[in-house]
Amino acid sequence: MAKRSWKPGTMIYPLPAVLVSCGRTEEEYNLLTVAWTGTVCTNPPMCYVSIRPERHSYPIIRRTGEFVINLTTSAMARATDWCGVKSGRDFDKFRETGLTPRKAAVVDAPVVDESPIAIECRVRQVIPLGSHDMFLAEVVNVQVDESLIDPESGRFDLERARPLVYSHGEYFELGELIGHFGWSVRRRKTIARERNAAAGRRNSATKHTRKECKK
């Protein structure tokens, strides 16, 4: 396979397109669209967001030391993009997008009610890197959408929410399931059974959504 060298750049794609929410009071609540985010440690659970110092949310998070990473879905795509191009200095982003702020369980920051997963974070360290500063944070609580929990198995079925990802300036909805962790060493019958079960869950979710739309 032929390769071509490019100048050094951030080419790790796709990435989750998340909404970072912050602010201790309703008057300073804000939303920031971030793709520079990820997991850094399992025990203790830790993650990060990298933010430019000139962004409106930067001094809020720096002062409060707390924020929430809200995963997004295809239904939230327009609001996610809008929050990335507009500034909280000029707009109340919750009001403009129609998203719903709700008080977090542990941190002093709002949770986006429409998000399937809200990850409450407390800053442990701020690392200046250049164009961005990295907020290294410990996860102190996670809230999940109960409608995505299978009542029989207790499994959290995030794919039913149609998660949103970002790649090279574009947004994509996650697509077809091709395997689970460890599937490469499992028997083919087990893999087929898991795929069929996942397809059944997606079909059931689609039918439920259609019924809701007709109401």
Strand partners, 142: 119
| Statement: residue 209 has pLDDT above 60 | no
Answer with the residue of higher pLDDT: 179 or 43.
43
Q: 188 pLDDT exceeds 70?
A: no
Judged on CB neighbours under 10 Å (0-12, 13-18, 19+), 114 is buried
Q: What is the dihedral of CA 17, 23, 29, 30, to 10 degrees?
A: -30
Lowest mean pLDDT among 28-32, 45-49, 154-158: 154-158
pTM of the model: 0.85
In angstroms, the CA 111 to CA 136 distance is 19
- The per-residue pLDDT for 185 is 82
Highest mean pLDDT (candidates 34-43, 169-178, 185-194, 205-214): 34-43
SS3 label, residue 52: coil
